[in-house]
């Protein structure tokens, strides 16, 4: 069975993958904190869409459950949690100060995507699953971009979103390689991720209350009082 | 053979005749969105007509470049209209005279002469606009090259007539990630090349903030009319390349009959109207970027086109 046997679904999945990668790039590059949160929500929706498409294509009801869980946690619960733990002031901020400026971080992102394809190619020979052609390299690329977001950003909330984007990338690759993962594993992830969000959100709230800023990139040096 | 020549000239006529209309519709729609009534959609025609009947004043200090530039700028899009599929799906008489790269060079020649002419008069605003245009230009160049490279790699040809059928046969090709990404990158390029928001404000009257428009400030009379017309035609040609080669190669004439070719005119204009709606939406919902933020905008376009190329080369 190859992905050529359902051309329309694989084409739509490829389109979803492309947009998924674009949103990952957007999370790296946007200035406004609120916009990167919205991009993350969009990315999660695209992940769910890809899961639905794969579920239809492979006839796997597990993937539909994955899509439902993704929508419930990542597009509803996590934004809600972040809104309520971190003060609204943070969302209005623009991140002027970054480790790298936007054009160079975009160029590095392009290199990372190339690396992701280079890494995925040998793996693709090993896994003979339809849709892995699209999902595996793009998922790995989104993973790299998420990790890069954590490295390049200095605000706490975008860094958290980078972490969640890594998680999205793992899922995006995972749903193609292991379409029949037990739902219990997905549920475990679905509980973990909001808890992480809650913890980091509360931490950010504390940092913001103490220092009046959430630029955690500046917290590298110790200072005695 | 004779038909192909006639249709080719008809394409040129369509580009020359309807380009100001596109500009008129765009500005009218923008005004409507801002809750104003706006000028008539035929206002650009009236402007051009009025300017053609006015005296032309040319600075004594300027050289022949200043006088030649409007004609070069006007001829460039006309020439490109011979090469690209405006109305028909099959190649016309002059189609093999140049490929997409050739068309890009010819369009760039018009821009080059306009920039030289802006420097020529030593009006303080002209050289500033010219240097800014060059800055946007050299940032846009890599994106152009990668888009063309990918497109011609996919189709195995650089002739636009061959490229256009590749993306829609079968229709699943339309949703290829590389295609979608290329469309986005090319759309951003059009915004930058034509000086649209967020790169430049086409209706701005403030000389210090101008990029594209300040190059033709010194022209009057016939020169100004030609420059204005040339600007409208350049946008029209870019839209046609975008729509007919990259996005929606539908509605073009398949057969050799005159009726079919004439029917293609309203269909193509309808597609252009759709594009104009998108353009107006973009222009009304975004703010103009600061000059040094343009790097970020075009950097994003570059990365998108590179990603399109990677996904293509690795066979997704």
What pLDDT is attached to residue B18?
95
Q: What is the tens place of the pLDDT at every residue in B9-34?
A: 999 999 999 999 999 999 999 999 99
Q: Could you please report the per-residue DSSP string of B131-200? A: HHHHHHHHHHHHHHHHHHHHHHHHHT-S-HHHHHHHTTSSGGGGG-HHHHHHHHHHHHHHHHHTT-TTT-
What pLDDT is attached to residue B209?
79
Of chain B, the percentage scoring pLDDT greater than 70 comes to 99
Q: What is the tens place of the pLDDT at every residue in B235-293?
A: 999 999 999 888 888 888 888 888 888 999 999 999 999 999 999 999 998 888 888 88
Neighbouring CB atoms inside 10 A of B110's CB total 25
Q: Distance between CA atoms of B126 and B69, rounded to whole angstroms?
A: 14
Res. B316: pLDDT tops 60 = no
Q: Distance between CA atoms of A190 and A193, rounded to whole angstroms?
A: 6
Q: How far apart are the first and last CA of chain A?
A: 66
User: Alpha-carbon dihedral of residues B24, B26, B31, B37, nearest 10 degrees?
Assistant: 40
Q: Which residue of B has its CA nearest to A3?
A: B316
- The closest of B60, B21, B74, B61 to B223, measured between CA atoms, is B74
Residues 6+ apart with CB under 8 A from B53: none
8 Å CB contact of B176 and A19: no
**Maximum distance among all alpha carbons in chain A?**
67
Q: A59 CB near a chain B CB, below 8 Å?
A: no
Q: Distance between CA atoms of B300 and B295, rounded to whole angstroms?
A: 8
- Which residues, listed in sequence order, are joined to residue B128 by a DSSP beta bridge? none
Which of B181, B299, B315 is the closest to A103 by Cβ?
Answer: B299
Domain that holds residue B302: 2-313
Is pLDDT larger for residue B156 or for residue B268? B268
Q: Which residue of B has its CA nearest to A118?
A: B314
Band of the pLDDT at B199, cuts 50, 70, 90?
A: confident
Which chain A residues are Cβ-neighbours of B307 within 8 angstroms? 18, 21, 25, 110, 113
| Helix, strand and coil in chain B, % to nearest 5 | 75, 0, 25
Within 73-102 of A, beta carbons closer than 8 Å to B belong to 102
Residue A102 distance to chain B (closest CA, Å): 6
Q: A21 CB near a chain B CB, below 8 Å?
A: yes
Q: What is the tens place of the pLDDT at every residue in A5-31?
A: 567 788 788 888 889 999 999 998 888
Residue B297 distance to chain A (closest CA, Å): 8
Res. A3: pLDDT tops 90 = no
Where are the alpha helices (H) located in A71-101, listed in sequence order?
Answer: 78-85, 88-92
8 Å CB contact of A25 and B172: no
Q: Which residue of B has its CA nearest to A31?
A: B296
Its pTM stands at 0.88
8 Å CB contact of B177 and A18: yes
Band of the pLDDT at A95, cuts 50, 70, 90?
A: low
Which of A8, A107, A138 is the closest to B172 by Cβ?
Answer: A8
Domain count, chain B: 1
Neighbouring CB atoms inside 10 A of A43's CB total 28
Q: How many residues are present in chain B?
A: 316
Q: A18 CB near a chain B CB, below 8 Å?
A: yes
Is pLDDT larger for residue B313 or for residue B246? B246
Of chain A, the percentage scoring pLDDT greater than 90 comes to 22
Residue B156 distance to chain A (closest CA, Å): 21
What pLDDT is attached to residue B71?
95
Burial class (CB in 10 A: 0-12, 13-18, 19+), B171: exposed
Per DSSP, the three-state class of A32 is: strand
8 Å CB contact of A134 and B173: no
Band of the pLDDT at A224, cuts 50, 70, 90?
A: low
Mean pLDDT of B117-136: 88
Q: What is the tens place of the pLDDT at every residue in B40-83?
A: 999 999 999 999 999 998 888 889 999 999 999 999 999 999 98
Q: Distance between CA atoms of B25 and B44, rounded to whole angstroms?
A: 10
Residue B181 distance to chain A (closest CA, Å): 7
8 Å CB contact of B303 and A25: yes
Per DSSP, the three-state class of B128 is: helix
Compute the Cα dihedral for B137, B143, B147, B148 and give only its sign: positive
Per DSSP, the three-state class of B253 is: strand
What pLDDT is attached to residue A5?
57
Q: Which residue of B has its CA nearest to A131?
A: B316
Q: Name the residue with tokens 């040809």.
A: B157
Which of A8, A117, A134 is the closest to B310 by Cβ?
Answer: A117
8 Å CB contact of B315 and A18: no
Q: Name the residue with tokens 């509980």.
A: A191
Q: Distance between CA atoms of A50 and A64, rounded to whole angstroms?
A: 10
Report ipTM (2 d.p.). 0.81
Of chain A, the percentage scoring pLDDT greater than 70 comes to 92
The two tokens of residue A75 are: 């597009």
Res. B314: pLDDT tops 80 = no
Three-state secondary structure along chain B? CHHHHHHHHHHHHHHHHHHHHHHHHHHHHHHHHCCCCCCCCCHHHHHHHHHHCCCCCCCCCCCHHHHHHHHHHHHHHHHHHHHCCCCECCCCCCHHHCCHHHHHHHHHHHHHHHHHHHHHCCCCHHHHHHHHHHHHHHHHHHHHHHHHHHHHHHHCCCCHHHHHHHCCCCHHHHHCHHHHHHHHHHHHHHHHHCCCCCCCCCCCCCHHHCCCHHHHCCCCHHHHHHHHHHHHHHHHHHHHHHHHHHHCCCCCECCCCHHHHHHHHHHHHHHHHHHHHHHHHHHHHCCCCCHHHHHHHHHHHHHHHHHHHHHHHCCC
8 Å CB contact of A106 and B303: yes
- Which residues, listed in sequence order, are joined to residue A215 by a DSSP beta bridge? A155
Would you list which residues of chain B are within 8 Å, Cβ to Cβ, of chain A? Answer: 170, 172-178, 180-181, 184, 295-296, 299-300, 302-304, 306-307, 310-311, 314-316
What pLDDT is attached to residue A87?
76
Distances (CA, A) of B14 to A122, B57, B264: 52, 31, 11
- Which residues, listed in sequence order, are joined to residue A192 by a DSSP beta bridge? none
Contact B66, B120 (CB under 8 A): yes
8 Å CB contact of B303 and A137: no
Q: Distance between CA atoms of A125 and A3, rounded to whole angstroms?
A: 14
The two tokens of residue A161 are: 């979103």
Which chain A residues are Cβ-neighbours of B177 within 8 angstroms? 14-15, 17-18, 21, 134, 138
What pLDDT is attached to residue A40?
93
Res. A74: pLDDT tops 70 = yes
Give the highest mean pLDDT range of A179-188, A204-213, B37-46: B37-46
Res. A225: pLDDT tops 80 = no
């Amino acid at each position: 069975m190859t992905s050529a046997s359902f051309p329309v679904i694989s084409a739509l999945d490829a389109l979803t993958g492309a947009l998924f990668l674009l949103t990952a790039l957007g999370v790296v590059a946007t200035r406004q904190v609120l916009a990167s949160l919205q991009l993350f929500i969009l990315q999660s929706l695209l992940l769910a869409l890809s899961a639905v498409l794969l579920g239809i294509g492979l006839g796997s009801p597990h993937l539909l459950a994955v899509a439902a869980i993704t929508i419930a946690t990542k597009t509803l619960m996590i934004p809600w949690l972040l809104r309520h733990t971190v003060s609204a002031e943070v969302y209005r901020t623009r991140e002027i100060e970054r480790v790298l400026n936007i054009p160079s971080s975009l160029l590095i992102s392009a290199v990372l995507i190339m690396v992701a394809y280079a890494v995925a190619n040998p793996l693709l020979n090993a896994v003979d699953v339809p849709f892995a052609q699209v999902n595996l390299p793009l998922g790995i690329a989104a993973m790299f971009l998420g990790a890069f977001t954590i490295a390049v950003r200095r605000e706490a909330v975008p860094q958290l979103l980078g972490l969640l984007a890594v998680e999205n990338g793992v899922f995006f690759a995972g749903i193609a390689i292991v379409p029949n993962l037990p739902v219990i594993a997905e549920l475990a992830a679905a509980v973990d991720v909001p808890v992480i969000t809650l913890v980091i959100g509360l931490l950010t709230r504390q940092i913001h209350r103490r220092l009046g800023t959430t630029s955690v990139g500046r917290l590298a040096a110790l200072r005695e009082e | 053979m004779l038909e192909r020549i006639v249709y080719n000239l008809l394409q040129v006529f369509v580009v020359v005749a309807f380009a100001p209309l596109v500009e008129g519709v765009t500005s009218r729609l923008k005004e409507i969105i801002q809750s104003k009534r706006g000028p008539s959609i035929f206002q650009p025609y009236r402007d051009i007509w009025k300017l053609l009947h006015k005296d032309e004043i040319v600075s004594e200090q300027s050289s022949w470049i200043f006088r030649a530039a409007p004609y070069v700028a006007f001829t460039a899009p006309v020439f490109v209209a011979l090469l690209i599929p405006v109305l028909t799906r099959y190649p016309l008489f002059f189609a093999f005279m140049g490929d997409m790269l050739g068309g890009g060079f010819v369009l760039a020649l018009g821009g080059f002469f306009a920039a030289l002419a802006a420097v020529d008069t030593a009006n303080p605003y002209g050289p500033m606009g010219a240097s800014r245009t060059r800055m946007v230009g050299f940032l846009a160049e890599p994106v152009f090259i990668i888009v063309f490279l990918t497109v011609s790699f996919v189709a195995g040809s650089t002739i636009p007539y061959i490229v256009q059928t590749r993306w829609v046969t079968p229709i699943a090709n339309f949703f290829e990630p590389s295609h979608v990404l290329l469309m986005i990158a090319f759309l951003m390029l059009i915004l930058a090349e034509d000086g649209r928001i967020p790169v430049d404000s086409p209706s701005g009257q403030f000389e210090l903030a101008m990029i594209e428009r300040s190059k033709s400030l010194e022209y009057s009379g016939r020169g100004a009319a030609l420059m204005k017309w040339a600007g409208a035609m350049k946008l029209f040609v870019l839209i046609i390349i975008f729509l007919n080669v990259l996005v929606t190669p539908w509605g073009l004439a398949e057969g050799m009959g005159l009726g079919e070719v004439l029917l293609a005119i309203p269909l193509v204009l309808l597609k252009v109207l759709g594009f104009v709606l998108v353009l107006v939406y973009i222009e009304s919902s975004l703010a103009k970027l600061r000059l040094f933020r343009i790097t970020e905008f075009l950097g994003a376009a570059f990365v998108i086109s590179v990603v399109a190329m990677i996904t293509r080369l690795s066979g997704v």
